[in-house]
Amino acid sequence: MITFFEAQDALIYAVKSNKSIDQQSVKKLSWLFGEAKPVDEHTLTGGYVGPRKEMITPWSTNAVEITQNMGICHIERIEMFSKAEQHAHYDAMLQTFYSILDQDLFAINHNPEPIIDIDDIGSYNNKEGLALNDNEVAYLEALSGKIGRKLTDSEIFGFSQVNSEHCRHKIFNGTFIIDGLPQEHSLFQLIKRTTAVHPNRVVSAYKDNCAFLKGPEVMQFAPATHDKPDFFGLRPIETVISIKAETHNFPTTVEPFNGAATGTGGEIRDRIAGGKGSLPLTGTAVYMTAYPRLNGGRKWEKATQARKWLYQTPEQILIKASNGASDFGNKFGQPLTCGSLFTFEHTENGKCWAFDKVIMLAGGVGYANKNHSFKDAPHKGDKIVLLGGDNYRIGMGGGAVSSVATGEYGNAIELNAVQRSNPEMQKRVYNAIRALAESTSNFIISIHDHGAGGHLNCFSELVENTGGTIDIDKLPIGDPTLSAKEIIGNEPK
């Protein structure tokens, strides 16, 4: 059943429980919701904006846990809804408009889409925005002929993500031919050459989620054990300094708050997943956009004509992205301590150049125990543990869509590819990893962050040298309407 509470600030709290809530618990919930009053009606009419019924929010997860700590049992979900007009602005990927709130508020009445055999891979590629080139389409068609059956939507979608420019760096690793002559080095080899010639303090680079530099010997101040309340102790360890930077350009262009937030969250994950587990300390954020023209624009900004934007204006991007990156860092517990901003437009020969697809660069510094700075190879029989939230229809196709020009595909495809921020869950995952990284017996063999490309990319990189089988029935599903393609390809929150 669902019990409603109404607060003075036009908020409705919907509490789903598997049995009737007693009066003592009702009083506790009323206090928890800021003296919100319980509503006698089982149905509320009017306009409301709230979370999609298919997606349990991070806020709900925390709220339910709080009620459990308060001794309130049987509560399964709590969500917030705000009174609103039908045309109110809201994030359509996370929220929806409800004309009524009733006892079927969280009921889901449609089934997952079935697995589809694809007849025309080229057409499917264009329709779904998979960014496959002609050679890749030809390869998949030949593979289909070789195995004697049609490839499924899950298989083609998965290949497109794992083999995307975002995940494979095909251009950076490709052979460049200039004036008919193949060049000796790829772009990536040229970048790596600097470290090869001048390694200095580099311990590990270009082979992990982050790079490690030689660090000092320090006194580690950590609990003696992490599975129960315990005394803190001091232990000398030799350290490595972790450094990381990554771009989150496409998501920040399309949806600045969540795009920049998950950019910061992603680079934090990369440093956590360095070696056999490391600890993040501080972060940075860099933004490059076209002219924002605040208050009409500065003198040099008026030299070029403002353009119509596909998604957000440069001004909106700078405000929302800055808020998003800081929000994730603050909620996770890693401050953003520095950054930079560069705006640019230039007209020449009748063409305007600018950062229409913005640059959002997230970076950071941390440290690890030097003994944990290299991964080991997994072997048959090792356990693979997936840490984090449930699977939802978010981050779908992020690897492929990030590899092409923004706006090349439809709004629905591009918005669906944006991750959603969940710093609270990431903090919980980090606490588990930190417990092992600070212990005297870290049994982690290898660790990988879960980002673009979903499970397929994460797991395939984790077992790259050995191979493996993914049992999707064992993956935690938050949205029961997910198809097989969506289960295997989403980015869990």
Looking at residue 480, its pLDDT comes to 85
pLDDT at position 401: 47
Look at residue 102 in the predicted model and tell me its pLDDT: 92
Sheet architecture: strand order including 211-223: 202-204, 211-223, 232-247, 359-369, 279-289, 336-343
Which of 447, 478, 469, 28 shows the shortest CA–CA distance to 208?
Answer: 447
Cβ pair 249, 312 in contact under 8 A: no
Between strands 336-343 and 279-289, the pairing is parallel
Q: Are 398 and 453 in contact (CB under 8 A)?
A: yes
What whole-number distance in Å separates Cα of residue 126 and Cα of residue 128? 6
Which mean pLDDT values do the consecutive 10-residue runs of the chain (493 residues) have? 90 93 93 93 91 86 92 94 86 83 89 90 87 91 95 89 77 88 90 92 92 97 92 96 92 89 93 96 96 92 86 92 95 94 92 89 96 92 87 65 48 58 90 94 91 79 82 86 84 69
Ordered domains of the chain (ranges, CATH): 2-101 (no CATH), 200-484 (3.30.1330.10)
Alpha carbon distance 480, 391 (integer Å): 9
Q: What is 359-416 written as a DSSP string?
A: EEEEEEEEEEEGGGSSPPPP-TT------S--B-S-STTHHHHTTS-TTSS-HHHHHH
